Amino acid sequence: MDVKARECAPNVQSSEDEDMELKRGPWTVEEDFKLIDYIATHGEGRWNSLAHCAGLKRTGKSCRLRWLNYLRPDVRRGNITLEEQLLILKLHSRWGNRWSKIAQHLPGRSDNEIKNYWRTRVQKHAKQLKCDLNSKQFKDTVRYLWMPRLVERIQAATAVSNIMVATTASATTSTSFVGSMKTVFPDDHLGGAQVNSSSYTLENSSTTAASSDSFATQLSPLSDFTYYYSINNNNSISINNPNPNRLKEFSGNHYNYGIDIQSLEQSNNPWLDTIDASENLFNAEDCYFLQQQFNFNM
DNA sequence: AAGTTATCCAACCGCCGGTGA
DNA sequence: CTCACCGGCGGTTGGATAACT
């Protein structure tokens, strides 16, 4: 994807362009497809000239953000998995608010999404505990309670998925997660709950067992646009169906923020509910633990 | 059912560092 | 060296939606 948009000189603008007002706010389907088509042909980068050449009345920044956070083929959106939650907590404890750095270890996740996750889910729990995010209390809670609990639930989910895989394909554990954990935390411990390779190795999980291409295509929560284009061996992008008539169909049926996939997973696989219970990280047991350990005023 | 509050997240903003003229 | 431009990053906002009263 090194081909840059050099064909169009950004400094040469017609008077008409100079009068062109920049558009803001939510992107339309048409704008998305303009951007996708242009990047498919010319590659990404040089965002200001790209925006101009693609005929988008957007800033280069806006195009870059839209592409990276939403449109690029490998973007994953939707529920943050337990493994990803654990990784985010670990990496944040190490690097703080270095969202882009953290995102590098969560394939397909944008820094924006991780940041949003942190600000909404994690900060909410800090608020519930009435303690500061940067306080030792909260850091201890994350390290000695939250992370071990996540590890337990990941292990439990792995066990369940081993059973379920025989009859249904449903796990969405990222194969890259194991690599990330091993790379970042080669010999790590989580407050007494050790993270070892056997806990996460996908040889134990349903993802490996059901890792056929068709399965991945069906369930991987990738960009909504991936059916419209595909990534070639040389990492270039091919438009699968350039027929503009498809736009309407695509818009009507698929431009729905991935709800189909999520609802499919949840409606067909009730056990997923037990996995994605991220909002219930602190049960009565935990609250008691917190009160005892940290004198939290729950 | 209607109004209010909380939550989520896409998108914007401002700052900063790198780069090239 | 200076300046302008660009891309990347982290912080913030505001609209849409869900949950609650």
Q: Residue A25 CA to C15 C1' — how many Å?
A: 10
Per-residue confidence (pLDDT) for residue A153, from 0 to 100: 83
Instruction: Convert A163-190 to b/e letters by CB count within 10 Å (16 or more is b).
Output: ebbeeebbbbbbeebbebbbebbeeeeb
Through-space separation of residue A250 CA and nucleotide C20 C1' in angstroms: 35
**More confident site: A222 or A83:** A83
Give the per-residue pLDDT at A14: 34
pLDDT, residue A184, reads 56
Per residue in A223-282, pLDDT (tens digit) is: 555 555 555 555 455 655 444 443 433 333 333 333 233 333 333 333 233 333 444 444
Specify the pairing of strand A189-190 against strand A193-194: antiparallel
Contacts of A59 (CB under 8 A, 6+ apart): A22, A48, A51
- The listed range with the strongest mean pLDDT (A13-22, A91-100, A173-182, A221-230) is A91-100
- pLDDT at position A111 over 80: yes
Residue A254 and residue A260 in contact, taking contact as beta carbons nearer than 8 Å: yes
Check if residue A49 sits with its Cβ under 7 angstroms from strand C. Answer: yes
How many other CB atoms are there within 10 angstroms of residue A41's CB atom? 14
Residue nearest to nucleotide C8 (CA to C1'): A100
| Cα A3 from Cα A232, distance rounded (Å) | 14
In this predicted structure, the answer to whether residue A18 has a pLDDT above a threshold of 80 is: no
Predicted confidence at residue A1, as pLDDT, reads 35
Beta carbons of A240 and A230 less than 8 angstroms apart = yes
> Is the CB of A123 within 7 Å of strand C?
no
The domain ranges of chain A are 1-71+222-257, 82-213+270-294
| A189 three-state secondary structure | strand
**A230 three-class SS:** strand
> pLDDT band at residue A144, thresholds of 50, 70 and 90?
confident
Q: Cβ atoms within 10 A of the Cβ of A130, count?
A: 11
For residues A204 and A162, the answer to whether their CB atoms sit within 8 Å is yes
Is any atom of nucleic acid chain C found less than 7 Å from the CB of residue A136? no
According to DSSP, the residues that pair with A231 across neighbouring strands are A237
Confidence of residue A289 (pLDDT cuts 50, 70, 90): low
Classified as helix, coil or strand, A28 is: coil
Nucleotides of C under 7 A from a protein CB: 5-12
Please say if the pLDDT value at position A219 is more than 60: no
Whether A52 and A11 have beta carbons less than 8 Å apart is answered as no
What confidence category does residue A55 fall into, taking pLDDT thresholds of 50, 70 and 90? confident
- Give the span between the Cα atoms of A197 and A212, in whole angstroms: 23
The CA–C1' separation of A101 and C10, in angstroms, is: 12
Its CATH architecture, for the domain A1-71+222-257, is: Orthogonal Bundle (1.10)
